[in-house]
Amino acid sequence: MQSIHPKLTLVGAGPGDPDLISVKGIKAIADADVILYDALVSKELLTYATKRAELIYVGKRVGKHSHTQNAINELIVYFAQEKGHVVRLKGGDPFIFGRGYEEIVYAQKHGISTAMVPGISSAHAVPALQNIPLTSRGINQSYWVTTGTTSTGELSPDITIAAQSSATIVILMGTRKLTEICQVFQEVKKGNTSIAIIQNGTLPNEKIVVGTIDDIQEKAKESEVGAPAIIVIGETVNLRQEQKLSSIQQQVFAHGQ
């Protein structure tokens, strides 16, 4: 009888587009005995698994939790001890608001070896694919990535600090806090600051609405943009429009030739 070697591999699945996963992540999926996958993971990635692999959905979405975090931790340990190699497939990067570190620590406490395969975070990829740089020379020197909602349901206090800087601010899980976020920026006289809300980033049904702090709530309501989405605030958002204009100008010039 073949001995079982319990192992957990955390794999970042990327922001949604199945092509945005690493080769190392695909190799881990192909080697898995059990895959515990989240709601934001593309089902196409599961096709890399072998026929012997057990595929188990443990997704959590806003207001809908199929499993608690404690239950997921216990499932990791159970299947690692019973089956061998467990791949925990998580959207984005497991170490960026993904509770990946908690899962690794829990597994290690139960004598299970662990490995980590980083993923592309939506915080970086989604703005990039909309031609929004997070930093640009002469505009800003840094960017913040923060959650919109803390574990207690409050607006993150880091947003108040970030709003006083020139940094581009990327807010995850913040669409339900949009009114409060806008109030923070208005209080520091930044109502004209550019803002973009990008829903379902990297996917075919991606939707974006762009405006200023002062008018974004009305525009978001009109466009019916909602979760899952990321919010990007800062002057680099304006570069998206400049880049589009530049592209149009190039096309006009080409036709003129």
Q: Where are the domains of the chain?
A: 7-117, 122-242
Query: What is the identity of the amino acid at 84?
Result: G
Mean pLDDT is lowest, of 125-134, 229-238, 248-257, for: 248-257
pLDDT at 117: 98
Query: With 80 as the cut, is the pLDDT of residue 250 above it?
Result: no
**Pairwise CA distance, residues 194 & 235, whole Å:** 6
Per the rule left: phi > 0, alpha: psi between -120 and 50, beta: everything else, 78 is: alpha
Among the listed residues 24, 27, 31, 60, the single catalytic one is 60
CB-based contacts of 85: which residues, under 8 Å, 6+ apart? 5, 7, 9, 31, 32, 33, 34
Mean pLDDT of 197-202: 96
Residue-wise pLDDT tens digits, 54-105? 999 998 665 555 688 999 999 999 999 999 999 999 999 999 998 999 999 9
Name beta bridge partners: 146.
171
| 241 compared with 77, residue with greater pLDDT | 77
Among the listed residues 33, 173, 177, 190, the single catalytic one is 173
Query: With 80 as the cut, is the pLDDT of residue 25 above it?
Result: yes
pLDDT at 199: 97
Among the listed residues 7, 17, 33, 38, the single catalytic one is 38
Phi, psi of 76 (to 5 degrees): -60, -50
Are 139 and 195 in contact, with CB atoms under 8 Å apart?
no
Mean pLDDT of 139-143: 95
pLDDT at 140: 94
Query: With 60 as the cut, is the pLDDT of residue 222 above it?
Result: yes
Domain 7-117: CATH architecture, name and number where available: 3-Layer(aba) Sandwich (3.40)
Mean pLDDT of 146-161: 94
Across the chain, mean pLDDT equals 92
Query: With 50 as the cut, is the pLDDT of residue 241 above it?
Result: yes
Query: With 60 as the cut, is the pLDDT of residue 173 above it?
Result: yes
pLDDT at 243: 58
Respond yes or no: is residue 173 known to be catalytic: yes
Residue where the block lists tokens 């395969």: 117
Mean pLDDT of 166-191: 97
**Pairwise CA distance, residues 142 & 137, whole Å:** 10
pLDDT at 253: 46
CA dihedral of 219, 220, 224, 229, whole degrees rounded to 10: 150
Are 75 and 102 in contact, with CB atoms under 8 Å apart?
no
- The model's confidence at residue 2, banded by pLDDT at 50, 70 and 90, is low
The model's pTM: 0.88
Respond yes or no: is residue 38 known to be catalytic: yes
Structure tokens at 57: 């959905």
Phi, psi of 235 (to 5 degrees): -70, -20
Closest CA to 41 of 82, 104, 94, 106: 94
Share of the chain above pLDDT 70, in %: 90
Mean pLDDT of 29-45: 96
**Pairwise CA distance, residues 167 & 68, whole Å:** 35
pLDDT at 17: 97
Class of domain 122-242: alpha beta
